[in-house]
């Protein structure tokens, strides 16, 4: 089968590798239809900024297969898979959350290790299924952040995670949802899907933007950071009310400066959600994300701006990293 293989830092090639085979009764084989690029992790794995990973983000060695956002069809299944996922069967189209090695024609998954799998209904496309890895993860994250109806919410960053969380906040009854980004193409989509205001952060001093948000909408009850940038942290902590919560969703490897005194004296919580759902609830939350896409409550199709074939994976990775002003989500066509 063909797969996108990282042979060493900075070197990705599409080559023939052995097709995976079932090795225990808890495994299944997925024929991958579509995959999607996750901007920071996939770039950093390609460049060697992050160490190699396999399966459920376990340490690996070079060479390894890149990619952790994908959807496809179950073509083989071990006899004990239904102990964990009673309704799964061969022929089901599925999405997943938190499984590596997805830029390949086939992927083997151990259902005891993966965070979650969810079947796709007929009205959810394969490309949406690939993007649901991110959308499902943001759903799980959001439901464990303390966001209440009528809260004022600031979402830093309007990339795919931010666009998902904006919709969650609106669906959960937030009074106001404000967002920021550096690129107008993303801010345009943010407004389309329900953001009450969308600011281009490149046009402001970070603290000035935080004060402007407070002036126009009042102090924010909750800030959710999907940007992972120093200036965004300054804006968010300035806009946040005393005793508010600042949740970190972004996964970036570079260092981020923090206004330490402001965080220490003003912010009640700074970091990821303090608790995490048990495995059964996590699986249900992933299915909830799929249901919201199916029912039109979570628009992820608007994020998908470009397609590349698997053979052009290096070109796709470069485009996705170097031209965020043009793209939001890049899908890799595999089958």
Specify if 66 maps to a domain: yes
Mark whether 53 and 111 lie in a shared domain: yes
Q: Which residues of 231-250 are buried (b: 16+ CB within 10 A; e: fewer)?
A: bbbbbbbbbbbeebbbbbbb
Mark whether 264 and 158 lie in a shared domain: yes
Mark whether 128 and 198 lie in a shared domain: no
Cβ proximity of 220 and 239 under 8 Å: yes
Mark whether 213 and 170 lie in a shared domain: yes
Specify if 203 maps to a domain: yes
Region 285-313 average pLDDT:
97
Report the alpha-carbon distance of residue 216 to residue 212 in Å, rounded: 6
Region 90-103 average pLDDT:
97
Phi-psi region of 271 (alpha: psi -120 to 50; beta: other; left: phi over 0): left
**DSSP-based three-state secondary structure for 205:** coil
Mark whether 159 and 232 lie in a shared domain: yes
User: Residue 29's closest CA among 91, 87, 103?
Assistant: 91
Region 107-120 average pLDDT:
97
Over residues 251-281, the pLDDT tens digits come to 888 899 999 999 999 999 999 998 888 999 9
Region 301-318 average pLDDT:
97
Question: What is the predicted pLDDT for the residue at 276?
Answer: 85
Q: Can you read off the two tokens belonging to residue 215? A: 């002036």
Question: What is the predicted pLDDT for the residue at 61?
Answer: 97
Specify if 129 maps to a domain: yes
User: Residue 12's closest CA among 40, 39, 36, 44?
Assistant: 44
Mark whether 27 and 84 lie in a shared domain: yes
What CATH number corresponds to the domain at position 179? 3.40.50.720
Place of tokens 């340490």: 59
User: Residue 333's closest CA among 5, 36, 124?
Assistant: 36
Mark whether 111 and 155 lie in a shared domain: no
Q: How confident is the model at residue 24 (pLDDT cuts 50, 70, 90)?
A: very high
Distances (CA, A) of 102 to 69, 121, 247: 6, 21, 28
**DSSP-based three-state secondary structure for 83:** helix
Mark whether 201 and 81 lie in a shared domain: no
pLDDT at 174 over 90: yes
Region 308-314 average pLDDT:
98
Region 86-108 average pLDDT:
97
Specify if 313 maps to a domain: yes
Mark whether 159 and 131 lie in a shared domain: no
Over residues 142-158, the pLDDT tens digits come to 988 889 999 999 999 99
Range of the domain at 195: 146-271
* pLDDT above 90: percentage of residues in the chain: 96
Query: In which element (H, E) is residue 139 found?
Result: helix 126-144
What CATH number corresponds to the domain at position 77? 3.90.180.10
Q: How confident is the model at residue 329 (pLDDT cuts 50, 70, 90)?
A: very high
Query: How large is the angle between the packed helices 160-171 and 126-144, nearest 10 degrees?
Result: 60
Write the CB contacts of 194 (distance below 8 Å, at least 6 apart in sequence). Answer: 166, 167, 170, 177
Mark whether 169 and 243 lie in a shared domain: yes
Specify if 141 maps to a domain: no
Question: What is the predicted pLDDT for the residue at 275?
Answer: 83
Question: What is the predicted pLDDT for the residue at 161?
Answer: 96
Among 233, 248, 271, give the residue marking a domain's end: 271
Cβ proximity of 158 and 190 under 8 Å: yes
E-assigned strands of the chain? Answer: 2-8, 11-16, 27-36, 53-54, 58-59, 64-65, 69-77, 93-97, 106-110, 116-119, 152-156, 176-181, 197-200, 220-225, 240-248, 269-271, 304-309, 329-333
E-assigned strands of 195-251? Answer: 197-200, 220-225, 240-248
Specify if 328 maps to a domain: yes
Mark whether 107 and 158 lie in a shared domain: no
Report the alpha-carbon distance of residue 234 to residue 257 in Å, rounded: 9
Q: Helices (DSSP H) in 240-278: which residue ranges?
A: 260-266
Number of domains in the chain: 2
Among 226, 256, 271, give the residue marking a domain's end: 271
pTM value is 0.96
Q: How confident is the model at residue 66 (pLDDT cuts 50, 70, 90)?
A: very high
Mark whether 213 and 303 lie in a shared domain: no
User: CA-based Rg of the chain, rounded to a whole angstrom?
Assistant: 20
Q: Report the chain's mean pLDDT, rounded to a whole number.
A: 97
Place of tokens 């089901």: 92
Region 61-89 average pLDDT:
98
Specify if 72 maps to a domain: yes
Specify if 140 maps to a domain: no
Over residues 175-234, the pLDDT tens digits come to 999 999 999 999 999 999 999 999 999 999 999 999 999 999 999 999 999 999 999 999
């Amino acid at each position: 089968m063909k797969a996108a293989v990282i042979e060493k830092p900075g070197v990705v090639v599409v080559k023939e590798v052995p097709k995976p085979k079932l090795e225990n009764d808890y495994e299944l084989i997925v024929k991958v239809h579509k995959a999607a690029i996750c901007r920071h992790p996939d770039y950093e794995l390609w460049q060697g900024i992050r160490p190699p990973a396999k399966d459920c983000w376990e340490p690996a060695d070079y060479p390894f297969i890149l990619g952790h956002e994908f959807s496809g069809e179950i073509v083989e299944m071990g006899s004990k898979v239904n102990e964990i996922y009673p309704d799964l069967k061969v022929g089901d189209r599925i999405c997943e959350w938190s499984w590596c090695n997805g830029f390949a024609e086939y992927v083997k998954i151990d259902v005891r290790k993966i965070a979650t799998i969810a079947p796709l209904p007929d009205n959810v496309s394969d490309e949406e299924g690939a993007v649901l890895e991110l959308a499902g993860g943001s759903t799980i994250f959001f439901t464990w952040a303390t966001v209440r109806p009528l809260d004022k919410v600031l979402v830093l960053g309007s990339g795919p995670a931010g666009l998902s969380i904006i919709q969650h906040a609106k669906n959960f009854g937030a009074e106001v949802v404000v967002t920021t980004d550096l690129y107008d193409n993303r801010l345009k989509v943010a407004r389309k899907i329900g953001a009450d205001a969308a600011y281009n952060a490149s046009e402001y001093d970070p603290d000035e933007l935080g004060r402007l948000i407070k002036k126009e909408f009042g102090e924010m009850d909750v800030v959710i950071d999907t940007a992972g940038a120093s200036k965004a942290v300054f804006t968010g902590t300035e806009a946040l009310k005393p005793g508010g919560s600042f949740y970190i969703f972004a996964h970036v490897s570079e260092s981020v400066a923090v206004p330490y005194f402001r965080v220490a004296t003003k912010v009640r919580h700074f970091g990821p959600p303090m608790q995490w759902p048990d495995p059964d609830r996590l699986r249900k939350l992933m299915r909830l994300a799929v249901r919201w896409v199916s029912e039109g409550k979570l628009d992820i199709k608007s994020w998908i701006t470009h397609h590349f074939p698997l053979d052009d994976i290096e070109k796709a990775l470069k485009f996705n990293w170097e031209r965020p002003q043009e793209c939001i989500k890049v899908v890799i066509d595999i089958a």
